[in-house]
A and B are shown apart, each in its own frame.
Chain A
Amino acid sequence: MNKQYEFFDHTADAKFRAYGKNLQEAFANAAIAMTSLMFDTEKIEPRINKAIESEGTDLKALLVNFLSEFLYLHDTEGFILRKLTSITINKQREGYRLAAIAKGDTYSEKYEILGDVKAVTYNEIEVREEEKGNCWVQIVVDI
């Protein structure tokens, strides 16, 4: 299996790239990468489905808003992401729109907390669609 994501050196924050054969997959892997800073994502049981909708004036803003949504869901409902399905990204008249189904669980003591993510930043943000459909995105989160 190809690498879903990898982390890079950053003095204080966490910087990662997420890969995919299309933009949808790269975005989904970015959400998993971010969650991996807080929990062991492999151990999260996919018991709950959540409809996710995000918008952005461009793809970078869409990525920031999409990832921020998981911080919101974590802080307000204790939702932890395991995986994303049915993810679509559509170009709108102004900007982009993403829709997806997030599968995961509500936090309980059985899940070990690895850390916290404060916010998704625009620092060193990249959204790249390479030829042959290979995509990658880069994000720095404040932790």
Chain B
Amino acid sequence: MEPKKISDHEWEIPKQGNMKVPARIFATEKLMEKIKQDRTLQQAANVAHLKGIQKYSYVMPDAHEGYGFPIGGVAAFDIDEGVISPGGIGYDINCGVRLVRTDFSVEQVLQKRTRLLEELFTEVPSGVGKGGITKLTKEELIELLEKGSQWSLEHGYGTKEDLEATEENGRMEQADASVVSEKALARGKPQLGTLGAGNHFLEIQKVDEIYDDEAAYLLGIEKGKVTVMIHCGSRGLGHQIATDYIDSMEKKYGFSDIPDRELVNAPINSDLGKKYFSAMCAGVNYAFANRQMIVHWVRDSFKKVLGTDEGMKQIYDVCHNVAKIETHKIGGEKKKVCVHRKGATRAFGPGNEELAEKYRKLGQPVIIPGTMGTASYLLLGTKSAEETSFASSAHGAGRAMSRAASIKQFRGEAVARELMSKGIEVKAASWKGLAEEAVPSYKDIDEVIKTTLNAGICKAVAKLRPIGVVKG
């Protein structure tokens, strides 16, 4: 499938066969070479077959092959005629990233880095095998699914300001726990407050470069100071919700008219479509509540080791895997659509009414984690992103190498040593897991950011470099 070059940072797969719209890919030549190596483009074209899709099937610059949608796939569907597809959101519902500023200088943290990482590692368990520390009753879990971060706040985790600095204020109101299966509840119960494994992490970073002084000042970011990043999702609860509804949608609607079984879907307006959306929102809330608890423990750990947690304010928390009902301008008219973002970040520009007041002038913070050895970025959404990509941006570096190939090529111990020589200390639950996440396994984050900025989807605020990493 050969894409047509539109500009230095945009490509198109023209409408062909039963595609209802063309596909648009944001990538430089260099990124396109990587993207072409797996089934990303075919999957983007497959998404364009779905009923009610608007404008384009979009692909973000960090995209790679997923299941159903590519990872980095964005698509909006007409609210009356369109569909909702669990494969367009992903199994890890509201896998997302939270960024916290601190008043600590790099030097202050480096002096006690090893102890701090050990403390974080103990306070925030990966949860694989034995679950977390927090044991919930079913009734508590049900309440949490409907309240999200609000539940965590009510139980002593974090501050009211954290909620204001969270997408949706940390709670999707459409959530309904009664459409979440017993199985999903059972998986969610023991895992609250855990990080999970794979690409999930806690990172201590230094603010390496500032690109926008005013925005950085307003967000509380200062060069040479330390930030903390949390990356995790809805754990087994979210995975089970996706599995359950893929099964129900197959049984109800079949998959004979879609190009990939993993794109199974239901009309947004149907009973099943609505139920899935409400269950997904419950999954989103679980992940918000989870990160809200983790941020509390992160503060606790800093307080224990460095004596204080003052100044540790949340900059923002974004979802990377989600569907939202949003209003976008399509063909000159405002229209309600269901935007699927799978491995993509919402990037609302200044003035968007859905943003909390403190961000309305600035635009929404967009947090893009890189790899352990490179850098992460703090960006802001732009007005033009709303026209260009349904206000969506990249979500990370994006894998370039299979995990199996990474394990063959790298050894966890050696990866840790190499990172240490670059000034990054790692505490990992498993050497194998660390090898999987070795730096060359990912695309070049700088190239991903360059594309995002050149496409006008975001503007840059700061570059953050890791100095300490905890991996589940």
Residue positions of A touching B, CB distance < 8 A: 7-14, 38, 57, 60-61, 64-65, 68, 71-72, 74-76, 78, 107, 111-116, 118-123, 125, 140, 142-143
Q: List 9 A-B pairs, Cβ < 8 Å.
A: A8-B404, A11-B399, A12-B399, A78-B131, A115-B430, A116-B198, A119-B91, A123-B262, A140-B67
Q: Of A10, A76, A121, A140, which contacts B186 at CB under 8 A?
A: A76
Residues on B with beta carbons closer than 8 Å to the beta carbon of A72 = 183, 186-187, 236, 240
Q: How far is the CA of A118 from the CA of B287 in the complex (A)?
A: 14
Nearest chain-A residue to B405 (Cβ)? A9
Residues on A with beta carbons closer than 8 Å to the beta carbon of B247 = 61, 64-65
Inter-subunit contact B187/A143 (CB<8 Å):
no
Known interface pairs A14-B404, A72-B183; 18 further A-B residue pairs with C-beta atoms within 8 A, sorted by A's residue number: A10-B402, A12-B64, A12-B399, A57-B251, A60-B261, A64-B243, A72-B187, A74-B129, A76-B186, A76-B189, A78-B129, A107-B130, A115-B198, A118-B239, A121-B91, A122-B261, A123-B67, A142-B92
Q: Of A68, A71, A75, A115, which contacts B190 at CB under 8 A?
A: A75
Q: How many residues of B contact A (CB 8 A)?
A: 51
**Max chain B C-beta neighbours (<10 A), residue from A11, A65, A111, A140:** A11
Q: How far is the CA of A9 from the CA of B402 in the complex (A)?
A: 6
Inter-subunit contact A7/B404 (CB<8 Å):
yes
Q: Of A8, A9, A71, A114, which contacts B236 at CB under 8 A?
A: A71
Inter-subunit contact A76/B430 (CB<8 Å):
no
Inter-subunit contact A116/B64 (CB<8 Å):
no
A-B contacts at CB below 8 angstroms, number: 120
Q: Of B38, B64, B190, B261, which contacts A76 at CB under 8 A?
A: B190
**Max chain A C-beta neighbours (<10 A), residue from B65, B129, B196, B235:** B129
Residues on B with beta carbons closer than 8 Å to the beta carbon of A78 = 129-131
Q: How far is the CA of A38 from the CA of B251 in the complex (A)?
A: 30
Q: How far is the CA of A141 from the CA of B239 in the complex (A)?
A: 11
CB distance from A48 to the nearest CB of B (A): 15
Inter-subunit contact A68/B129 (CB<8 Å):
no
Q: Of B66, B126, B403, which contacts A14 at CB under 8 A?
A: B403
